[in-house]
Amino acid sequence: MSNAVEVQGLVKTYNKGEIKALKGLDLVVPQGKVLGVLGPNGAGKTTAVSILSTLLIPDAGQGVVAGYDLLKEPNKVRENIGLSGQFAAVDEILTGFENLHMFGRLYGMSNSEATARANELLAMFNLTDAGNRPAKGYSGGMRRRLDVAGALVARPQVIFLDEPTTGLDPQSRLGLWKTIRQLVADGASLLLTTQYLEEADHLADSIVVIDHGEEIAAGTADELKTQLGGDRVELTLTPGQSIEDAKSALAQFASGEIQVNEEDAQLLFPVDGGTTTLTRVLNELESKNIETIDAGLRRPTLDDVFLSLTGHTAEGDLIEKEEAADETEVV
Ligand SMILES: Nc1ncnc2c1ncn2[C@@H]1O[C@H](COP(=O)(O)OP(=O)(O)O)[C@@H](O)[C@H]1O
Ligand SMILES: [Mg+2]
């Protein structure tokens, strides 16, 4: 089967070429799979999604989306995709039901078809109880769910979700993840952008990491983590223990740089040999009378991957999380 999305060499500049938002990006979403496009703020995610959903014309590049040529048959592409943008397109005055019903009518459904579809989607997104209230009173999480539901009214086989959970509290995020997994289980192909490494890890079959408009890595979450080398040992010393002594005792076990967090008395370093090495590390510390309050082995996270690839963390992340902190779900 052909790919749901296959585009090559996407280039997009803004301000007469001054801002290079995309510098030649290739993206492939196999049928029925989830591609996660992971990158910090300004990486070019929204620009890429806007091009794939025909809202923007690229300066260069070409490809096929949902079986149609992106540049030659944009109307056909539009008819066969669902898009939930970064900023929700919900009409605040209308109720949840009315929003979805209106979309159905716009897509040419009869009144009864649109009603049935709206009710089906309200149930799927856990909005049935709120369905008859104006969207104005919805929490951020509910609004976001309604927006994603809106993208699905016409049962598109190719779905684009641009940062679907940005700004949501953790509980709403988990709820949306569940729904997204269900969509894919039902056979849809999905391209999802995110700045949350965890989200890409949970939802995506494969991941393209982008920064400054270009790909800096690609693969499955496991492949990306393996690129960084195997497991890491993470130790927290008992207060008062010398970090320097620990560091010199452990140098022989580290297969890469030992990172030190002075404030929390933590040491982190890559090792070969898994738990065998962890045991040797602990024996060595014991023989030197260096005490720990916590010691463990962990696989690299996508955070480690991102940091090592770009030299920075996915910064936007922290800010967004703080903004989301006081948002609560009211049903
Ligand atoms: N309409 C626009 N006019 C000028 N610059 C833009 C516009 N949209 C995006 N950009 C710039 O293009 C780059 C990529 O932006 P965007 O695609 O929104 O990234 P992301 O969605 O990953 O945060 C950024 O430097 C951004 O400031
Ligand atoms: Mg964006």
In angstroms, the CA 212 to CA 312 distance is: 12
Instruction: Tell me if 5-219 shares its fold with 229-299.
Output: no
Is there a contact between 193 and 261 (Cβ–Cβ < 8 Å)? no
- Mutate which of 14, 15, 23, 196 for ligand 1 pocket (most atoms within 8 A of beta carbon): 14
pLDDT score, position 316: 41
In angstroms, the CA 169 to CA 139 distance is: 10
Phi, psi of 191 (to 5 degrees): -115, 125
Q: State pLDDT tens for residues 204-233.
A: 999 999 999 999 999 998 888 777 667 889
CATH H-level, domain 229-299: superfamily: YebC, transcriptional regulation domain (3.30.70.980)
The domain locations on the chain are 5-219, 229-299
- Ligand 2 centroid distance, CA of 45 (Å): 5
Task: Give the number of the atom of ligand 1 that is nearest the alpha carbon of residue 162.
Answer: 21
Nearest CA to ligand 1 atom 17: 44
- Ligand 2 centroid distance, CA of 210 (Å): 12
Below-50 pLDDT ranges, the chain: 315-331
Point out the ligand nearest to the CA of residue 45: 1
**Top-level class of domain 5-219:** alpha beta
- Mutate which of 10, 13, 47 for ligand 1 pocket (most atoms within 8 A of beta carbon): 47
In angstroms, the CA 166 to CA 58 distance is: 25
Q: Of 55, 77, 131, nearest to 100 (Cα)? A: 131
In angstroms, the CA 331 to CA 283 distance is: 53
Residues whose beta carbon lies within 6 Å of some atom of ligand 1: 14-15, 19, 21, 39, 41-47
pLDDT score, position 228: 66
> Which pTM does this prediction carry?
0.79
pLDDT score, position 321: 35
Task: Give the number of the atom of ligand 1 that is nearest the alpha carbon of residue 43.
Answer: 22
Residues with CB under 5 A from ligand 2 (ion): 45-46, 86
Q: Tokens standing for 135? A: 């969207």
Separation in Å, CA 230 to CA 9, 157, 233, 276 = 33, 37, 10, 13
In angstroms, the CA 16 to CA 27 distance is: 25
In angstroms, the CA 272 to CA 121 distance is: 49
pLDDT score, position 330: 42
Residue position matching structure tokens 């997009």: 12
- Ligand 2 centroid distance, CA of 314 (Å): 13
